[in-house]
């Protein structure tokens, strides 16, 4: 029994380290980047999101309390971008360039693969980041800023974990293709249920029952937006890519924060 528990804990640690190595700039011991590692990383991605969100939220909340909510929001989101190597921001910009071209799927994918960023990508980046900053800065208390950003980052990563149940890949190779179809339905469901409980707990700790209601509503809206946006991407491009996974994260995160700001405005 002890041996079994030890192996389970070791597996969870390996999964989290795989997620850290693949989706952050934090150095970890080298490991083989294969489908098995991808599956582990996806299972642990919401947990990694929670940890990243708590770190960024703590900075945003503390600095917002010491100086101004706007400055706190900017620095907290900057920390999050740095920790993730701006990987997902790059993805949403590239996806915007591809979709904005109005080209057929293969040509849009070729545009997304380019290393430069076009005007559509710049515009989308400005609005996504501006929406995140404004939403965070409008929250009534520093504690709720921490809770909301932690919840938003976790739920946005959960959206990708759920999306990787699908086997629809727009490319036969590449970083995105490595993750397509690596998550079982059971893993996605368990992650979703745990994330829902964590969101309620974060909201309660941040602002009592009002916070719990506000963040629960934000989680529901973000989940709907993620579903709609993911479906749109798969239909338009023929499947998932690394860039579209990044765009799913950023769009879901923005939807969560905006919904949290609206809900708290109505409740407080």
Query: Is there a contact between 59 and 76 (Cβ–Cβ < 8 Å)?
Result: yes
CA distance 134 to 158: 23
CA distance 264 to 13: 36
Confidence of residue 4 (pLDDT cuts 50, 70, 90): very low
pLDDT, position 1: 35
Q: 240 pairs with which residues across the strands?
A: 169
Q: pTM of the predicted model, to two decimals?
A: 0.94
Confidence of residue 174 (pLDDT cuts 50, 70, 90): confident
Confidence of residue 7 (pLDDT cuts 50, 70, 90): low
The answer to whether residue 78 scores a pLDDT higher than 50 is yes
CA distance 53 to 47: 10
Phi, psi of 36 (to 5 degrees): -65, -45
- Residue spans per domain, the chain: 44-267
Please give the full DSSP string across 118-140, using - where no structure is assigned. -HHHHHHHHHHHHHHHHHHHTSS
């Amino acid at each position: 029994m002890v041996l079994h528990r030890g192996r389970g804990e070791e597996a969870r640690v390996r999964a989290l380290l795989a997620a850290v190595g693949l989706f952050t700039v934090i150095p970890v011991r080298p490991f083989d980047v294969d489908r098995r590692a991808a599956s582990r990383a996806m299972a642990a991605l919401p947990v990694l999101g929670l940890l990243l969100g708590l770190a960024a939220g703590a900075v945003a909340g503390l600095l917002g309390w010491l100086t101004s909510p706007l400055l706190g929001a900017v620095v907290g989101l900057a920390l999050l971008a740095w920790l993730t190597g701006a990987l997902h921001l790059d993805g949403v910009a590239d996806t915007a360039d591809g979709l904005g071209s109005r080209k057929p799927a293969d040509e849009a994918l070729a545009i997304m693969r380019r290393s430069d960023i076009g005007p559509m990508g710049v515009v989308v980046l400005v609005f996504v980041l501006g929406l995140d900053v404004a939403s965070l800065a409008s929250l009534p208390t520093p504690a709720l800023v921490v809770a909301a950003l932690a919840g938003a980052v976790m739920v946005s990563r959960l959206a990708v974990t759920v999306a990787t149940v699908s086997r629809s890949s727009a490319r036969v190779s590449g970083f995105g293709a490595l993750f397509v179809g690596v998550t079982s339905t059971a893993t996605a469901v368990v992650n979703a249920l745990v994330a829902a409980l964590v969101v309620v707990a974060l909201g309660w700790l941040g602002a009592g029952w009002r916070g719990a209601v506000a963040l629960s509503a934000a989680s529901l809206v973000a989940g709907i937006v993620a579903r709609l946006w993911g479906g749109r991407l798969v239909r338009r491009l023929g499947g998932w890519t690394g860039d579209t996974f990044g765009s799913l994260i950023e769009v879901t995160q923005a939807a969560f924060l905006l919904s949290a700001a609206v809900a708290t405005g109505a409740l407080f």
